[in-house]
Structure formats: C-alpha cells, structure tokens
C-alpha cells in the first residue's frame, strides 16, 4: 500500500519542499501520497485564531484544542480502512533515529501534527492518543520555532526507506546509522584536487582491499566522532571481534 503522509500546520508553504527532488518524484510516481493541510481551515472566528494565553500564566501562547480537534477528526477519517499513526514533533519527545525512520516507513499512514508557539494544549494528545497510535518525536536536544522543519527532516528520512524512492537501494546498506557505524569517507573524480589525492586503494580495483579500507575508516570515524555508537556496535559484535578492522 502506498505510504500516505498528512501534515497539519499553520504554515503550509513551509512544506513546499515536499514537491521537490526524490520526494517530489516519488509522489508523481505514486510511491508516496502527501497531503498538507492548513490548521486555520478548522477555525470558526473571523481572525482564524489558533492560540491563546496559557492557563497558569507564563510567557508565550498555546495552541487551542478546538481547531486541532476538528482538524484531526476530519483528517484522521479521510482514508477509510486505514489507521493513522500520529507523529507529533516536540523537543520533549523520544529521539527520532534511523530506527524510528525504519519503523515509520513500515506504517501505511502517518499524520504529522505541527505545533507552534509554546506547543499544543495537552488534551489534544490525550484525546487522539486514546484513539490512535501516537508518537512524540524529537529531532534533537534543541528548540525549533515549529514542527515544520522537523517534519521535513522526518519525512525525508522515512520516505527514502520506502522501496523505489531511492534509485539505487544498495546505497542505503552502508550508510551512517545502518549497521551501527558511520559511513566511510567518499571520493569522486578528479584523482588529485588542489594537491590532495584520493586514497590510492580506491583506485586499485582490488575489491577486498577496498572493503577492508572502508571498514577500517568506518570504525575510526565512528570512534572519533561518535564513541557512543562504537560501543553499541562492538557490543553487538560480541565485544572485540570488530575492533581489528
């Protein structure tokens, strides 16, 4: 079944990049179905208000529950026979990782809920979390202005795992965050650029030596930049077996 993605936001234009590049092509080829909705279409007042002051006081504004309730009632019922999985980007969520992307890529319908201001009235999550699977996911330990940028990152990470979206699916196999290590350094023509040479082994045509060099680079790069990942990788390999590279 084609993966369907719905995004509800007060800035639909922010999602314009979903028309471009591999995702745009995947949409045109019917590999992905994407619908972007303006939350303000579900407001009832002249000013199309979506926010109000926080109960209990404090700085900033909070998104009111009524527009979200009406929007999600309608969007989540718009594909009969499918169950939506709600994805709520938020800095307080579970970390969004490659494993999360793989998990979401196996769903048939994701509905992204883009917060703004200080976030969305918590009762929206109580209401819809009781009806549908709902994941609150964080892009990282920093605060963005809204969920839209997070949705662009998440949809791209998920969409490229959908069969057919990436032209050469073998390129997914050795990528960073697949198999536990970061990817090795990559090079292309020319063989010498500004006096800097491509590592000779890559020009040798010797597949075994190239594979061994790449594995060593992966281990070294991971140890240097992400020792936390290397620890997990070595544990998964039964301790020391992989360290010899």
Annotated binding site for S-adenosyl-L-methionine: 115, 139-144
* Token pair listed for 219: 């281990």
- Site map 66..105 versus ligand SAM, x via CB under 6 A: -----------------------xxxx-------------
Size, binding site for ligand SAM by CB under 6 A: 19
Footprint of ligand SAM on 142-181 (CB under 6 A): 142-147, 150
- Strand pairing report for 51-52 and 192-193: unpaired
* Least distance (Å) between residue 115 CB and ligand SAM: 2
Q: If binding is defined by CB under 6 A, does position 51 make contact with ligand SAM? A: no
Rounded distance between C-alpha atoms, residue 158 and residue 170, angstroms: 16
Cβ–Cβ < 8 Å for 88, 127: no
Q: How far is the CB of 232 from ligand SAM (least distance, A)?
A: 22
Which residues are known binding-site members?
Answer: 115, 139-144
Query: Please, what is the minimum distance in Å from the beta carbon of residue 142 to ligand SAM?
Result: 6
Residue written as token pair 């700085």: 59
Interaction mask 112-141, ligand SAM, x per CB under 6 A: --xxx-xx------------------xxx-
């Amino acid at each position: 079944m084609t993966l369907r993605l719905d995004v509800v936001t007060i800035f639909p234009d922010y999602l314009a990049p979903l028309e471009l590049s591999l995702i745009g092509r995947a949409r045109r080829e019917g590999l992905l179905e994407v619908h972007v909705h303006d939350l303000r279409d579900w407001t009832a007042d002249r000013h199309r208000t979506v926010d109000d002051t926080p109960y209990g006081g404090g700085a900033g504004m909070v998104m009111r529950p009524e527009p979200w309730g009406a929007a999600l009632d309608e969007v989540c019922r718009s594909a009969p026979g499918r169950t939506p999985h709600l994805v709520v980007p938020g800095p307080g969520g579970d970390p969004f990782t490659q494993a999360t992307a793989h998990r979401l890529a196996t769903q048939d319908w994701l509905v992204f809920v883009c917060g703004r201001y200080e976030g969305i009235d918590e009762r929206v999550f109580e209401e819809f979390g009781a009806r549908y699977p709902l994941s609150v996911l964080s892009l990282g330990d920093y605060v963005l202005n809204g969920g839209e940028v997070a949705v662009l990152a998440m949809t791209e990470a998920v969409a490229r795992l959908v069969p057919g979206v990436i032209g050469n699916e073998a390129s997914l196999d050795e990528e960073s965050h697949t198999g536990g290590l970061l990817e090795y350094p990559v090079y292309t023509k020319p063989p010498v650029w500004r006096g800097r040479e491509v590592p000779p082994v890559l020009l040798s045509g010797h597949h075994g030596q190239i594979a061994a060099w790449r594995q060593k680079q992966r281990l070294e790069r991971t140890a240097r930049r992400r020792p936390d990942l290397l620890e997990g990788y070595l544990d998964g390999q039964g301790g020391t077996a992989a360290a010899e590279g």
